[in-house]
Amino acid sequence: MIYKSLLIRLSYLVLCLFLSFSAFAQPSADAGKTLFRNYCASCHNRDMKSDMTGPALGGVTERWADYPESDLYAWIRNSSALISSGHPRANEIFNQFNKVQMTPFPNLTDDDIASLLLYIQGTFDGTYGAPVAGAGAAGAGQQAAEGTGGIFAGKAFYYIIFGFLVILALVLARVLNRLKYLTELQAGVETTGPRSLWATLTSKGMIGIIIFAVIVLGGYFTVNSAISLNRMQEYQPDQPIKFSHATHAGLHKIDCQYCHDGARRSKSSIIPATNTCMNCHKAIKVGSTYGTAELTKIYASIGFDPSKDTYIENYDQLSEEDIKKVYTSWIANQYVLDNGKLDRKGELMMEEQWDGIKESLTSDIKPQIQGPIEWIRLHNLPDHVYFNHSQHVNVGEIACQQCHGKVEEMKVVKQYAPLSMGWCINCHRETEVKFSDNPYYMSYAKYHEEIKEGTRSGVTVEEIGGLECQKCHY
Ligand code: HEC
Ligand code: HEC
Ligand code: HEC
Ligand code: HEC
Ligand code: HEC
Ligand code: HEC
């Protein structure tokens, strides 16, 4: 009996090892490239050799070699925290760069940062993305080198260990079997002889273990892909109107909350109604990029006649033909020649633009032109999750950009954060709440005392209960 349970435990160990290896994605330069492009390339040069807003990153691990590796990770997640802790390298580079502050990235995991560093180093020394030389000794040598690098760096390494452990388990099982046989012989018990390898493999215990393994592995992959099914990081659909955040929030510096005025006071940030657009576009009627085309969509949706500066009466009852007349003549106005005639280009543009406007504003769901603009929603948490903007923006004083990225540089918005549970939790673990000056937290007397005594520097969201399931789940 003891042998059998030993065998089961051994196989279990092998299984656990395999699971723990496969459960974690490996850091890779490829993953690093995507992360770099999304988060870092706006300030750090892609060649890793010259400065931009931020310094050239090539060789950065060497510059931080005098400090524990975790310091560099801490820098990337939150450079200002490291600077204010008095860290020598952090202060050196901060002062060198005219005290420009780097964006914090609290949501990057260790693997993410390892991937970034792999990509940065690889690009700097030219080993990443270098074309493999064709025929000849040099090429073969390089390929061989890459091959071994691959085995020890990638998943293959773990598969080899796994294979080795399986063989080891089988050998040990056989040894145990022999020992069992010998003790039985010695004790004079009647026995059927040592079991063959096949008999071991097909014994009840072994089959049980194999079935168990298949269920666990299968379950793991099914659940994993089911969970990420609805995640849409990087989602960037085309919108019915070419509305650019880069123009509005970037170039013209319109405050995010001028349009998304829900963020400060309510759960939802709210997409602005067409009336908000009209506050400006009643006057700004011709754009420098698309001419009248995109702006006319706003007017067609709300029923504003830009040539007369009035709202059209009973607009929702007009036929498509009547609406077309209003807006094609408005578009045509832009192409009238000095002699009062429409030029040829204008005629073509008129029809073309009208078709475009109609196409954008009508959809399968709502086949008419009049009515609210149907913006396509990007962010969408599942129904069982509770998220509140004002809690984060107003009470937590978190910048929109920390969760939505640099929207003011996006011509077309995209979903920047994964919106996974891990993402929320990670930030709650690492972010400190604005504690001392917020009356909301008067009830946490113990923390206040500790801060006063100097035994505590801050309170994270986790410490006020930000990891409790019912806070985020209905
Ligand atoms: C908003 C611009 C900006 C973005 C985005 C940005 N950085 Fe930086 N980074 C800087 C600046 C500026 C510095 C110089 C130090 C300072 O002034 O804070 C810096 C410094 C660094 C340093 C220290 C370099 C050294 O030689 O010690 C590292 C490492 C670094 N950044 C990594 C990253 C990574 C990785 C990302 C993407 C995840 C990133 N940065 C995104 C602006 C940025
Ligand atoms: C002039 C008005 C205006 C301003 C200013 C503005 N936005 Fe928007 N925002 C919109 C409109 C309209 C949409 C919907 C169309 C789209 O997705 O492009 C939108 C969409 C978004 C979305 C995607 C919402 C979704 O569907 O999930 C985010 C995130 C966002 N804005 C963040 C910001 C941030 C951050 C700022 C400030 C840097 C900002 N916005 C400034 C009008 C504005
Ligand atoms: C606070 C003022 C303001 C608000 C509010 C505003 N815009 Fe604009 N918008 C501008 C300015 C300024 C421009 C740049 C005009 C130019 O191109 O010369 C612009 C440009 C545009 C353009 C590009 C026009 C072109 O051809 O270059 C579009 C499309 C547009 N806005 C749509 C919208 C929509 C949709 C809304 C409502 C969600 C909106 N705007 C709200 C000020 C505003
Ligand atoms: C702590 C992270 C966080 C911060 C800070 C944040 N958002 Fe959001 N935002 C989210 C999440 C999560 C969603 C998805 C909400 C959902 O699906 O219920 C979202 C959704 C949105 C939407 C889509 C409409 C909605 O409310 O569901 C807009 C627009 C938006 N955010 C704009 C902003 C603006 C503007 C700011 C800054 C004033 C901001 N957000 C700050 C996390 C954040
Ligand atoms: C960028 C960091 C950040 C991210 C990402 C983030 N949060 Fe938060 N969250 C905070 C901070 C800071 C507070 C504390 C605000 C305050 O002072 O009350 C908070 C508070 C909360 C609270 C109230 C907790 C309490 O104890 O009162 C809930 C609920 C919450 N967050 C849900 C979410 C959900 C759901 C997500 C993911 C969709 C999320 N948060 C993502 C930073 C974040
Ligand atoms: C800070 C907010 C937050 C807290 C705290 C939190 N969750 Fe979640 N949880 C989320 C978000 C956001 C999702 C949606 C993830 C997605 O759509 O991928 C989620 C999804 C889930 C799911 C569905 C499976 C999945 O990953 O999509 C389960 C089950 C779950 N949470 C259980 C829990 C339990 C149990 C706890 C307490 C130990 C907890 N959650 C605490 C934010 C939170």
User: For residues 149 and 108, which has the higher predicted lDDT (pLDDT)?
Assistant: 108
Question: pLDDT at position 10, please?
Answer: 56
- CB of 467 closer than 6 angstroms to any ligand 6 atom: yes
Where in the chain are all domains bearing CATH 1.10.760.10?
A: 29-141
Cα of 130 vs its chain's centroid, Å: 27
Buried b (16+ CB within 10 A) or exposed e, 410-424: beebbbbbebeeebb
Average pLDDT over residues 419-429: 92
Q: What is the DSSP letter of 393?
A: I
Nearest ligand, measured from the Cα of 389? 4
CA–CA distances in Å: residue 271 to residues 13, 20, 255, 278, 426: 53, 43, 14, 14, 27
How many A from CA of 432 to the centre of ligand 5? 10
Torsion angle in degrees (nearest 10) through CA of 327, 329, 331, 334? -150
Question: pLDDT at position 343, please?
Answer: 67
pLDDT digits (tens, 9 = 90+) for 149-180: 334 444 567 788 888 988 888 888 888 888 88
Distance, in Å, from the CA atom of 346 to the CA atom of 333, rounded to the nearest integer, reads: 8
Question: pLDDT at position 141, please?
Answer: 36
Question: pLDDT at position 250, please?
Answer: 93
Identify which of 239, 380, 402, 403 to mutate to test ligand 4's pocket (most ligand atoms within 8 A of the CB): 403
Question: pLDDT at position 71, please?
Answer: 93
Ligand 6, atom 19, lies closest to the CA of: 421
Compute the C-alpha angle 443/445/450, nearest 5°. Answer: 145
How many A from CA of 18 to the centre of ligand 4? 39
- CB of 388 closer than 6 angstroms to any ligand 6 atom: no
Q: Lowest mean pLDDT: which of 227-236, 303-312, 383-392?
A: 227-236
Band (pLDDT 50/70/90 cuts) for residue 102 is confident
Which residue has tokens 């490239």? 33
Band (pLDDT 50/70/90 cuts) for residue 338 is low
Nearest ligand, measured from the Cα of 35? 1
- CB of 381 closer than 6 angstroms to any ligand 4 atom: yes
Question: pLDDT at position 151, please?
Answer: 42
**Which ligand 4 atom is nearest residue 256's CA?**
35
How many A from CA of 281 to the centre of ligand 1? 38
Question: pLDDT at position 145, please?
Answer: 36
Q: 3-state secondary structure string, 143-165?
A: HHHHHHHHHHHCHHHHHHHHHHH
Band (pLDDT 50/70/90 cuts) for residue 464 is confident
Tell me what the pLDDT averaged over the chain comes to. 81
Ligand 3, atom 24, lies closest to the CA of: 287
Query: What's the token pair of residue 410?
Result: 């996006």
Question: pLDDT at position 21, please?
Answer: 46
**Which ligand 6 atom is nearest residue 382's CA?**
17
**Which ligand 3 atom is nearest residue 294's CA?**
29
User: For residues 156 and 74, which has the higher predicted lDDT (pLDDT)?
Assistant: 74
Most confident stretch, 120-129, 164-173, 275-284, 436-445 = 275-284
- CB of 396 closer than 6 angstroms to any ligand 5 atom: yes
How many A from CA of 282 to the centre of ligand 2? 20
Nearest ligand, measured from the Cα of 412? 2
pLDDT digits (tens, 9 = 90+) for 294-332: 999 999 999 999 989 999 999 988 888 999 989 988 888
Q: Which of helix, strand or coil describes residue 26?
A: coil
Which residue has tokens 């109604």? 273
- CB of 393 closer than 6 angstroms to any ligand 2 atom: no
How many A from CA of 318 to the centre of ligand 6? 48
Angle between helices 69-77 and 88-96 (to 10 degrees): 50
pLDDT digits (tens, 9 = 90+) for 19-30: 544 444 678 888
Ligand 2, atom 39, lies closest to the CA of: 256
Question: pLDDT at position 149, please?
Answer: 39
How many A from CA of 289 to the centre of ligand 4? 28
Which residue has tokens 């008129």? 350
Band (pLDDT 50/70/90 cuts) for residue 374 is confident
Burial of 292 (0-12, 13-18, 19+ CB in 10 A): buried
If you write DSSP's letter for every residue of 205-267 in order, what string do you get? Answer: HHHHHHHHHHHHHHHHHHHHHHHGGG--TT--PPPSS---HIIIIIIT---HHHH-THHHHSS
Question: pLDDT at position 194, please?
Answer: 67
pLDDT at 435 over 80: no
CA–CA distances in Å: residue 391 to residues 292, 395, 415: 40, 5, 20
Band (pLDDT 50/70/90 cuts) for residue 403 is very high
Ligand 5, atom 35, lies closest to the CA of: 387
Question: pLDDT at position 193, please?
Answer: 66
C-beta atoms surrounding 316 within 10 Å: 9
Average pLDDT over residues 378-399: 91
Band (pLDDT 50/70/90 cuts) for residue 242 is very high
- CB of 243 closer than 6 angstroms to any ligand 2 atom: yes
User: For residues 131 and 124, which has the higher predicted lDDT (pLDDT)?
Assistant: 124
- CB of 387 closer than 6 angstroms to any ligand 5 atom: yes
pLDDT at 133 over 50: no
- CB of 289 closer than 6 angstroms to any ligand 3 atom: yes
pLDDT at 258 over 80: yes
Average pLDDT over residues 32-51: 82
pLDDT at 254 over 80: yes
Average pLDDT over residues 107-133: 83
Nearest ligand, measured from the Cα of 382? 6
Identify which of 231, 259, 378 to mutate to test ligand 2's pocket (most ligand atoms within 8 A of the CB): 259
Whether the Cβ atoms of residue 235 and residue 378 lie closer than 8 Å to each other = yes
Question: pLDDT at position 152, please?
Answer: 46
- The answer to whether the pTM exceeds 0.75 is no
Question: pLDDT at position 150, please?
Answer: 39
Average pLDDT over residues 392-403: 92
Question: pLDDT at position 278, please?
Answer: 93
* CATH number belonging to the domain at 29-141, selected among 1.10.760.10, 3.40.50.2300, 1.10.10.10, 3.30.930.10: 1.10.760.10
User: For residues 271 and 38, which has the higher predicted lDDT (pLDDT)?
Assistant: 271
- CB of 424 closer than 6 angstroms to any ligand 6 atom: yes
**Which ligand 4 atom is nearest residue 377's CA?**
23
How many A from CA of 314 to the centre of ligand 3? 26
